[in-house]
Amino acid sequence: MTALDVQTIRADFPILSHKVYDKPLIYFDNAATTQKPKEVVEKIESGYYNVNANIHRGVHFLSLAATEAHEAAREAVRRFLNARSTNEIIFTRGTTESINLIASSFADECLSPGDEVIVSVMEHHSNIVPWQIQAARKGISLKVIPMNEKGELRLDAYKALFSERTRLVAVAHVSNVLGTINPVKEIIEIAHAHDVPVLVDGAQSVPHMAVDMQDLDAEFYVFSGHKIYGPTGIGVLYGKEDWLDRLPPYQGGGEMIASVSFEKTVFNELPYKFEAGTPDFIGSTALAEALRYVSAIGMDRIAAYETDLLHYATERLATIEGIRIFGQAVHKGAVLSFLVGKIHHYDMGMLLDRLGIAVRTGHHCAQPLMHALGIEGTVRASFSFYNTKEEIDQFVAGVDRVRKMF
Ligand code: PLP
């Protein structure tokens, strides 16, 4: 595997050469959203300038061109995920909407009072609250997979959670706080041994490692475009075709119907059944461009480079007096959550910001995990392939400088 030419890559991201407070920007908030390469922004611009017309319903030139671009984007996503068919690729607004779609449609079709859904202690709120909403509607309950002191899910406890009322497992591939890469393949195999389908939240995995739907065998897999260098407002729900066929629509409206009368409406076929209203066809084509961009670098090279950054940052940060790093999993993505002494995470974040360093502070939309850790929040640095060891050196020096101020 050849090394990444990071300086050339960085030139594709104009924002990375910005200064904040007269200091070079160090952007370590990639788990929240990633920066966009020029190719993606240009795709959005050229979409609006050259191929803007509503899709699927038009017979005119522009509408056909826009439809073709949108469906080509669906094929690009299918290829990226190695899904079997474009019928398995539903465009949504992002991870959150994808999970809400499944929670709502799955609950309508498959859940009755007394049924159980298994989630994990390290889920983002977007993989907890939609299930709680269904719990209130349908009288189901949530079972929670606990973790060990390293921040790894306890598979023994997971196995013990299954009962004859278990209907679904919904679990993150990678924790947005701990960085833990969960053994989703094993988690899926265990669920399948109980005839239970699995939804995987891929928000923090798809941007950082190769994923293969046919190999993984999850029933549902979701991610957000904006975390993989694409635009905001577009995301993906992958679902096995037989499952998507079986589930009822999430929203009603245009696009998702075959015919409508006041007496009877016939829903459209997949994937359109789940795409009510005008889809974000500019967003989908820009997302496809982002996928093309990361594929050209190579997902395996991205994973190797970011893992190297993580190890370097972990080693360097560990030298700081009073540091506590949350998440010491053996398999870990490029996310570093920490606290230093008694310094409040918010103070650390504010002061790092003054040095031009963007990190995230708080509970990271994972309050149950914070509760399990016995803390209110952390400082989180999350890396991308455009970050460098020099930036990490400056970040570590910054953290130490803040420590000395307290
Ligand atoms: N799941 C995980 C693990 C996340 O990290 C995030 C965002 O940080 C989400 C879900 C929600 O993603 P979005 O806000 O793009 O829908």
* Interstrand relation of 335-340 and 323-326 (parallel, antiparallel or unpaired): antiparallel
Q: Which atom of ligand 1 is nearest to the CA of 175?
A: 3
Instruction: Measure 126 CA to ligand 1 centroid, in angstroms.
Output: 7
Pairing state between β 360-362 and 378-382: antiparallel
- Which H or E run contains 288? helix 281-297
Contact present, 182 and 213 (Cβ < 8 Å)? no
Nearest to 61 by CA among 49, 52, 71, 74: 52
Q: How far is the CA of 204 from the centre of ligand 1 (A)?
A: 7
Which whole number is the average pLDDT over 111-139?
A: 97
Residue nearest to atom 4 of ligand 1 (CA): 203
Rounded CA-CA distance 207/204 in Å is 6
pLDDT in tens, 24-37: 999 999 999 999 99
- Summarised one tens digit per residue, pLDDT across range 127-182 is 999 999 999 999 999 999 999 999 999 999 999 999 999 999 999 999 999 999 99
Q: Which residues line ligand 1 (CB under 6 A)?
A: 31-32, 94-96, 124, 126-127, 172, 176, 201, 203-204, 224
Query: From CA 218, how far away is CA 192, in angstroms rounded?
Result: 9
Q: Which two tokens stand for residue 213?
A: 């739907």
Give 226's contacts (C-beta < 8 A, 6+ positions apart). Answer: 33, 34, 94, 232, 233, 234
d(Cα 305, Cα 315) in Å, to the nearest integer?
16
Question: Could you tell which of 123, 171, 204, 361 is best to mutate to test the pocket of ligand 1, judged by most ligand atoms within 8 Å of the CB?
Answer: 204
pLDDT in tens, 51-73: 999 998 789 999 999 999 999 99
pLDDT of residue 3: 83
Residue 281, amino acid = F
Nearest alpha carbon to residue 381 among 342, 301, 327, 330: 327
**Quick check: 108 pLDDT over 90?**
yes
Judged by DSSP in three states, 232 sits in: coil
Q: Is the pLDDT of residue 1 over 80?
A: no
Mean pLDDT across 216-221 = 98
| Closest protein CA for atom 6 of ligand 1 | 203
| Ligand 1 centroid, distance to 51 Cα (angstroms) | 30
> In the 8-state DSSP scheme, what is residue 323?
E
Query: Which residue has the CA at smallest separation from atom 12 of ligand 1?
Result: 95
321-374 pLDDT, tens digit each: 999 999 999 999 999 999 999 999 999 999 999 999 999 999 999 999 999 999
Residues of the chain with pLDDT > 70: what percent?
Answer: 100
Catalytic residue numbers, as ranges: 365
Ligand 1 centroid to residue 48 C-alpha, Å? 27
Specify the ligand 1 atom closest to the Cα of 32: 8
Calculate how far, in angstroms, residue 22's C-alpha sits from the geometric centre of ligand 1.
31
Which tokens belong to 100? 């809400």
| Strand bridging mode 166-172 / 116-120 | parallel
185: confidence class by pLDDT, cuts 50, 70, 90: very high
DSSP assignment of 64-101 equals HHHHHHHHHHHHHHHHHHT-S-GGGEEEESSHHHHHHH
Give, to the nearest 10 degrees, the angle between helix 345-354 and helix 389-405.
Answer: 120
Cα–ligand 1 centroid distance for 124 (angstroms): 7
> Whose CA is closest to 292, among 48, 40, 89?
40
Choosing from 176, 223, 280 the residue with most ligand 1 atoms within 8 A of its CB, the one to mutate for a pocket test is: 176
What's the pLDDT score for residue 57? 79
Residue type, 260: V
* Mean of the per-residue pLDDT values of the chain: 97
Residue 92 in tokens:
């949504």
Residue whose tokens read 């009288």: 139
Find how far residue 391's CA is from the centre of its chain: 24
> Taking CA 229 as the corner, what is the angle to CA 225 and CA 234, rounded to the nearest 5 degrees?
20
Looking at residue 227, what is its pLDDT? 98
pLDDT single digits (tens) 240-276: 999 999 999 999 998 888 999 999 999 999 999 999 9
Closest protein CA for atom 7 of ligand 1 = 32
Contact yes or no for 256/273 (Cβ under 8 A): yes
Distance CA 162, CA 116 (A): 9
CA of 274 to the centre of ligand 1 (A): 20
**Residue 218 has which token pair?**
């999850």
User: What is the percent of the chain where pLDDT is above 90?
Assistant: 97
| CA dist 28 → 174, 211, 358 (Å) | 17, 23, 5
Instruction: Calculate mean pLDDT across residues 197-212.
Output: 98
Distance 180 CA to ligand 1 centre (A): 15
pLDDT of residue 199: 98
**Per-residue confidence (pLDDT) for residue 2, from 0 to 100:** 79
CA–CA distances in Å: residue 173 to residues 61, 114, 124, 182, 205:
42, 27, 11, 5, 6
